[in-house]
């Protein structure tokens, strides 16, 4: 343990770092609510004009809608197949366990840009890339969302007491009924939590989208990136604030359902 003097220094250092961590995030929210174009001190007053400006920007709204739609499709796919894959990984995998486990995590371990390039060239080679871009993006995003679902769901499955399922079987429930009545209700939290992570990951994804987006299929981060390169008004901050609100929700729900500590620190 740290002696009280040193502990105070540690707490102070930690506090400074937390401020550093949160500063840009808080600034974005303030910029969205500030009435002026540039953020100044003292702020020029509260206003929702940038929210209106966001709502009136057709490209922004279109990208926002597209990102939500894309994230919804990706979440649905990644959650279902990620959960079944976790079940396999924890319960039934034999010889190929280590290989499959590594493979499932690999998409977030290799640089996203590299995966994006590989997919771009591959889709061209197999003759995709003409369908407007939605399904290419779905595939790319699903690849990088599956690791999160697998990590979260298998973390809970590993601790799952198998004798509960045996008890259900013993009482006359077949394998499917056992899954529906016993297993699923007990891992529900992890599945929901994995789904939320998948949604946020897809919604914020940049690298793969940069290479795979099409003309009618521009996810919001790409739209924001293009916007940021040339202009600088707080309409963007509004998009950021929406994203931050989602993040806060995710943290709250995850802490509730799985416990952040258990998830990240094993």
Q: Which stretch binds another protein (CB under 8 A): 48-56, 68-76, 112-120, 151-159?
A: 112-120
Spell out the residues 6+ positions from residue 179 whose beta carbon is closer than 8 angstroms to its own: none
| Bond before 42 cis per omega within 30 degrees | yes
* Interface pick for another protein out of 73, 76, 134, 244 (rule CB under 8 A): 244
Contact 192, 155 (CB under 8 A): no
* Interface pick for another protein out of 47, 51, 61, 169 (rule CB under 8 A): 169
Q: How far is CA 154 from CA 83, 104, 200, in A?
A: 8, 12, 19
Q: Count interface residues toward another protein (CB under 8 A).
A: 110
Q: Closest separation between CB of residue 223 and another protein, Å?
A: 10
Any contact of residue 170 with another protein (CB under 8 A)?
yes
Q: Measure the CA dihedral 85/86/90/93, to 10°.
A: 20
Any contact of residue 50 with another protein (CB under 8 A)?
no
Q: Closest separation between CB of residue 178 and another protein, Å?
A: 8
Q: Which is nearer to another protein, 194 or 221 (CB)?
A: 221
C-beta neighbour count of 36 within 10 angstroms = 13
Q: Please report, as residue ranges, which positions from 135 to 154 form the binding site for another protein (by CB under 8 A).
A: 139-140, 142-143, 146, 150
Give the integer Cα–Cα distance in Å for 183 and 164: 8
* Interface pick for another protein out of 70, 168, 218, 258 (rule CB under 8 A): 168
């Amino acid at each position: 343990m740290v002696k009280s003097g040193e502990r105070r220094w540690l707490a102070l250092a930690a506090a400074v770092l937390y401020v550093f961590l949160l500063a840009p995030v808080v600034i974005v929210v303030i910029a969205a609510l500030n009435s002026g174009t540039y953020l100044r001190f003292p702020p020029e007053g509260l206003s929702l004009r940038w929210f209106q400006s966001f709502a009136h920007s057709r490209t922004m709204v279109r990208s926002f809608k597209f990102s939500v739609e894309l994230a919804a499709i990706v979440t649905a796919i990644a959650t279902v197949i990620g959960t079944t894959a976790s079940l396999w990984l924890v319960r039934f995998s034999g010889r190929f366990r280590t290989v499959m486990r590594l493979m499932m995590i690999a998409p977030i371990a290799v640089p996203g840009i590299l995966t994006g390039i590989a997919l771009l060239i591959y889709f061209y080679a197999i003759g995709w890339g003409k369908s407007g871009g939605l399904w290419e993006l779905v595939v790319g995003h699903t690849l990088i969302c599956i690791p999160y679902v697998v990590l979260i769901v298998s973390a809970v499955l590993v601790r799952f007491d198998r004798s509960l399922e045996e008890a259900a079987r013993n009482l006359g429930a077949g394998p499917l009924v056992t899954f529906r009545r016993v297993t699923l209700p007990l891992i529900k939290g992890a599945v929901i939590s994995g789904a939320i992570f998948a949604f946020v990951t897809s919604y914020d994804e940049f690298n793969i989208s940069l290479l795979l987006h099409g003309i009618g299929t521009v996810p919001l981060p790409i739209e924001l990136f293009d916007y940021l390169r040339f202009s600088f008004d707080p309409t963007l901050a509004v998009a950021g604030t929406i994203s931050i609100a989602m993040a806060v929700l995710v943290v709250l729900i995850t802490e509730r359902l799985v416990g952040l500590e258990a998830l990240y620190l094993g």
